[in-house]
Amino acid sequence: MLVANHTSMLDIMLMLYASRNPFVFVGKKELVKIPLFGFFYKRVCILVDREDSKSRTGVYRRAQRRLNQGLSICIFPEGGVPEENIILDEFKDGAFKMAIAHDIPIIPMTFLDNKKRFPFTFFSGGPGVTRVTVHCFFETGLLAEEDKSMLREEVRAVILAALTKTKN
């Protein structure tokens, strides 16, 4: 399970570049409506309607199918792009619940420069290097669903520490 902070449109491309293993994103269904982007998005993602409990449950079945095919799963656990002044938003439970349910390790990744390079604010950002830090894996084999909050906060702390350290 690949998880990373979400700050920019560059995040998707950097994730594709940084991961050595093929993977599929889990993403919000409503992004399918974006012209052109939506066409490709729905072909490379496990879509979830966060308002529909059947859709959220169905993600686990589709994820298991993809895992059985040898693919990894990627989720941006903030559930969207936070306001520009927020370094790292709170994480949602989905990625951690899924990793525990499927007994797969969590691989935290920190995108250090994407917000500076290509933020969601038009006519801002600029050229330069983009860096990613791939952190140590978090094993989930001995965890139960009730451990998801602890796992979520530990992974978030690792990513936040990398972002805070880099900011100084």
The beta strands (E) that lie in 112-164 are given as: 132-134
List domains and CATH numbers for the chain: 2-167 (3.40.1130.10)
pLDDT for the residue 78 = 93
Provide the token pair at 105.
Answer: 């390790």
Average pLDDT over residues 53-65: 86
Round the average pLDDT of the chain to a whole number and report it.
89
CA distance 106 to 109: 10
> Is the confidence at residue 168, as pLDDT, over 80?
no
Q: In this predicted model, what pLDDT tens digit does every residue of 115-139 receive, in sequence order? A: 888 877 777 788 889 999 999 999 9
> Is the confidence at residue 167, as pLDDT, over 70?
no
CA distance 151 to 133: 19
Verdict on whether the full-model pTM lies above 0.85: yes
> Is the confidence at residue 104, as pLDDT, over 70?
yes
